[in-house]
Structure 1
Amino acid sequence: MDSSPVASTAAGVAAEDITASAALERCLGAYARDNAELNAITVLLADAARVEASQRDLVVAARKPLGPLHGVPIAIKEEIAVAGTVTTFGGLGNVTPAAADAEVVRRLRAAGAVIVGKTNMPEFGSVPFGDSDAHGSTRNPWDPARSPGGSSAGSAVAVATGMAAAAMGGDGGGSIRVPASYVGLFGLKPQRGRVTTAPDPHLWWALGTAGPLTRSVLDSALVYDVVRGAADTDLFRAGEVGSFVEAARREPGRLRIGWSTKPVTRGVTCDPAHVRAVEETARLLVDLGHDVREVDPRYPDPSAAFVPQLFASIRAETDALEHPERLSVRNRSANTWGFWVTPRVRDWGIRQGEKVARKANRVFEQVDVLMTPVTANRPPAVGAFIGKGVIRASLGSMPTVAYAALWNVAGNPAASVPAGFADDGLPTAVQLVGPTDGEEVLLSLSAQIEAARPWPFPR
């Protein structure tokens, strides 16, 4: 299986070694083989994608300039608008197709990508798993009885099985990094405000950002260089950085890397497989010439910032539904329990996040990169969160977001990097966290780890 299908497809189409149509048919073949079992793609756009791929082939034949993603099949998470499809957010409350693409989808098409379909997610991404009350559970390709994580569950599985070369996800509390870690992909949550949320002004207020899940670091960089950049309507904006592709292709230099397996969330115990992954990667980084040491990050408690924004986000999205009576049990209870989150409380939560960010970033006074586990737990059983109310679901989710959610509150970039396998036969990963606007160092370091310890893919 191709380890960098975005890069190889774009290069192959440009060199006329493969057509965009042929690349698409490979993805549609993977869909036919695996989707009935794994439930990754909820809306297959086969006919429209074939027309789009044919158009890409005509551009090649006419010797016209090609975009950086020309002919690359890409899937889109259900929360991102694709013209002509219903933006379901993983539920049943909307029925009217979107009139236009979201800005990131428009940019992907402008770069030559072919949109394959929409991917499954739990309603509003309110749990970090692949359990959708409306559309059924997405399953982990390494073990279909286990969850692939979420909420970008379908995006992760689509890429891992070859249904798409890359897939857009979103991360409001670990929703790119968690599924990447559970299925063995690379997943970078970028700096807050790095990727536009247009036409919406934000994604889960200060918590969320969109981004791709990919098989390689270079593939992720290629997609990010297309979709990143703010729009006029965006509430948040990141600082200036250079080319992500160039960052992925250069050596990181000797870095100060601090590691810790201490969870942010109190009372959570980290699975020994994840502790081993961090310790083994620390030894690898020493061999690669870095200054590596165990540190105590002295994490601040992000709850006062995270919880108000979480409830405010779910309420805002449910209030905009065409049929709110069709909400899942979990999100009906979220609306009930979140009655206290007024706009004033929400704004207070955002301000608390700024305080959390200042405290969390103190660790970067002594290190260039912080390495931790991605999650505290191994992938749970499929369907464990279907039908649960928000309180039970939130408590059950705590081990999964115990390392990830803090960096949504703080806004820092953070990546899930494959680290091998546990005794259960499923992948492990480590989380690399960078300073504010530090995506470039994360990409360079992740690519160095990938070269030293290549990761395999399912099926």
Structure 2
Amino acid sequence: MTALHQLSALECAGLIRVGSVTSVEVTEHYLHRIRRLDRRLGAFVVVTEELALRQARQADEILRAVGPDGVGALHGVPIALKDNLDVEDVVTGWGCADRTDEAIGDDNVVVRLRQAHLPIIGKTQLPEFALPCYTENLLGGDTANPWRSEFSPGGSSGGSAAAVSAGLAPLALGTDAGGSVRIPASCCGVVGLRPSNGAVSNGPSDPSPNGLSVPGVLTRDALDAGALLDVISDPMPGDPTAARAYREPRGRLRIGLAVDPMVPDLAVADECRAAAEKLAAGLQESGHELVPVDLGKDVAVADAFRDAWSVVAASFEVDDEEALAPFTRWLRDQGRAVSGVRLHECLTMFRGVARMLEEMVFGMVDMLVTPTLGMLPQRRGMFRLHRDEEENFAAMTRFMPFTPMYNIAGMPAASVPVEVVDGLPVGAMLGGPYGSERRILHEVAMIQSRAGGAVGLAPGWA
């Protein structure tokens, strides 16, 4: 018999709608798994059991009142949230000891989740202020990779990705400012989508005025990802940007393949290249045309991303600077040295990259395949081994040279599980022009369907 946590979120929602199981029963099932198993994983900062069960009871009451045709596709299915998203009356920790206040309201995506009646089962681990590409902090948050516990799940949405991969949550939200959804998706063998800027409403707690960060989804099934995207999409009052129109291409797609990043003098692991080539070949087998693409090299873009990201680090208000992690302090120092003129220059360069991609890349191809990462998943603590934080940042750049391009441009991309190497998953990335996130997920769903369906749980967690 298939257990509830082995089902896709849509399958689980289907059982809830027909009365085979209640939202309370599904929610209790996941809460029990968290209580029993999360000590091995360390995915959750806090489990919101009382909130989740109250929401599940409400979901069941609404279903009884309106019937199965009156509820949404994910009605009653529980979800986990990264701990930088505000849930009213729950502490938003940001992986930092300095943050202990309960949120006074919901972020926009949480409003959407409440409206769709998805019980919130807890907040997941992240590194301090979501700045690095791993999930370790000074609060004891050192999340394990469900596939091999001595390895990192990546970051910064590592707790969310690990929870989905291990079957402690059927769905999760993260945020992605430089790859923070797609990096852990690759490391944990799940689907992770960064939507287009404007497709999902930021804030209001963190409105991301530089355009880098957006909420993203983590699931084992591309169809689940699409359903969750539908729940959290559409603008909210005060949004500074709106979703761009997307013209659906007809018939055969032109799929670009680029296995070298825009960052110069950087070697990409053979296994990461092979994953991208395998994903591209799968799309070609679907009948699409495959086209090689050279993204070019530009160190100025990497420098601009670093300067803009350091300004984000410096923007957080803290009471005790010395209590922060060394990398956080170093990056904040870098950010304080960035002038307003330099930040304007960086943001102007980002718009230039977006225009280049839209005209020169997505004017030639409909979608682009690249590796998700430049290296295989790394051991826990590896990035903190560097006493020189400058080298720490350089090591992170070598690890994640492909993902920031889509944040810089504000375009959508998804990491897709492709291979398993030495017991660890390796993903590849499929990106597209503004507004193409649903077409991206459609192509991923087709590939998953041919492979037999959704990605299974990490070994040993079924």
- TM-score (ref. length: structure 1): 0.92
SS of equivalent residue, structure 1 residue 231: coil
1:265 and 1:402 in contact (8 A); partners too: yes
**Which position in structure 2 is the counterpart of 1:428?**
426
> Which of these residues, 276, 282, 297, is aligned with residue 280 of structure 2?
282
Question: Which amino acid counterpart does residue 215 of structure 2 have in structure 1?
Answer: A
Measure, in 1, the Cα distance between the counterparts of 2:378 and 2:17.
42
Partner deviation per Cα, 1:295-350 (whole Å, 9 max, x = no partner): 2232544224312220111111x22x455553222211222222222344323211
Secondary structure in 2 aligned to 1:371? strand
Equivalent residue for 2:51, pick from 36, 42, 48: 48
Change (3 A) 1:299 1:196: farther
- Report deviation, 1:144: 0.2
Pair 1:114 & 2:119 matched = yes
Q: 2:97, 2:138 within 8 Å by CA — same for their partners in 1?
A: no
Tell me: CA distance 1:299–1:364, structure 2 relative to 1, closer, same or farther (3 Å).
farther
Unaligned runs of 5+ in 2: none
Separation in structure 2 between the aligned mates of residue 456 and residue 67 of structure 1, nearest angstrom: 25
1:457 corresponds to which letter in structure 2? L
Structure 1, 132-141 or 386-395: larger mean CA deviation: 386-395
Identity %: 32
Q: Is the CA contact (8 Å cut-off) linking 2:46 and 2:122 kept in structure 1?
A: yes
Q: Which segments of 5 or more consecutive residues in structure 1 lack a partner in the other structure? A: none
Task: Decide which of 327, 330, 334 is 1:330's aligned counterpart.
Answer: 327
> Aligned Cα RMSD in Å?
2.1
The residue type equivalent to 1:306 in the other structure is F
Q: Which position in structure 2 is the counterpart of 1:406?
A: 405
Q: Secondary structure at the match of 1:443?
A: helix
Distance 2:341 2:423 in 1: 47
* Corresponding position of 1:203: 208
Q: Could you tell me how far apart the structure 2 residues matched to 1:135 and 1:105 are?
A: 26
Q: Comparing 297-306 with 149-158, which one deviates more in the overlay?
A: 297-306
Alignment partners' CA distance in 2, 1:403 and 1:44: 33
> Which letter does structure 2 place at the counterpart of 1:348?
E
Paired position in structure 2 for 1:353: 350
In 2, Cα distance between the equivalents of 1:304 and 1:291?
A: 34
Q: Distance in 2 between matches of 1:157 and 1:366?
A: 36
Shift in Å, 1:119:
0.3
- 1:275 and 1:198 map into 2 onto residues whose CA distance is 35
Do the aligned residues in 1 keep the contact of 2:95 with 2:141 (CA within 8 Å)? Answer: no
1:445 lines up with 2:448 in the alignment? no
- Of 231, 241, 245, the residue aligned with 1:236 is 241
Cα distance change, pair 450–225 in 1 and its aligned pair in 2 (3 A)? same
Return 254-263 or 446-455, whichever deviates more.
446-455
Match of 2:374 in 1: 376
Per-residue deviation at 1:384?
2.2
Q: Deviations over 1:229-279 (max 9, x none)?
A: 22232233321469xxxx9xxx98421111121122222211111122122
Distance in 1 separating the partners of 2:62 and 2:440 = 35
| Deviations 1:420-451 (CA, angstroms, capped at 9, x unpaired) | 212x1111111111012221321221111111
Q: Number of residues paired by the alignment?
A: 449
Q: Does 1:219 align with 2:228?
A: no
Are the counterparts in 2 of residues 257 and 291 from structure 1 also a CA contact under 8 Å?
yes
1:204 Cα deviation after fit:
6.5
Letter in structure 2 aligned against 1:281: L
Of 292, 295, 306, the match for 1:294: 292
SS of the aligned residue for 1:420 comes to strand
Moved more, 300-309 or 356-365: 300-309
Among 170, 174, 180, the alignment partner of 2:175 is: 170
Q: What is the CA deviation profile of residues 55-78 of structure 1, one whole-angstrom value per residue up to 9, with x for unaligned ones?
A: 222222334532333211101101
Amino acid corresponding to residue 311 of structure 2 in structure 1: A
The alignment partner of 1:293 has SS state of: strand
Distance 1:259 1:433 in 2: 11
Distance 1:328 1:252, change over 3 A: farther
Q: State the match for 2:26 in structure 1.
A: 23
Aligned to 2:12: 9
Distance change >3 Å, CA 73–CA 305, structure 1 → 2: same
Structure 1 389/51 Cα, relative in aligned 2: closer, same or farther at 3 Å? farther
- 1:95 and 2:130 aligned: no
* Cα distance in 2 between the residues matched to 1:382 and 1:252: 45
Instruction: Find the partner of 1:193 among 189, 194, 198.
Output: 198
The change in CA–CA distance for 1:154 and 1:205 in structure 2 (over 3 A counts) is same
What TM-score does the superposition give when structure 2 sets the normalisation length? 0.92
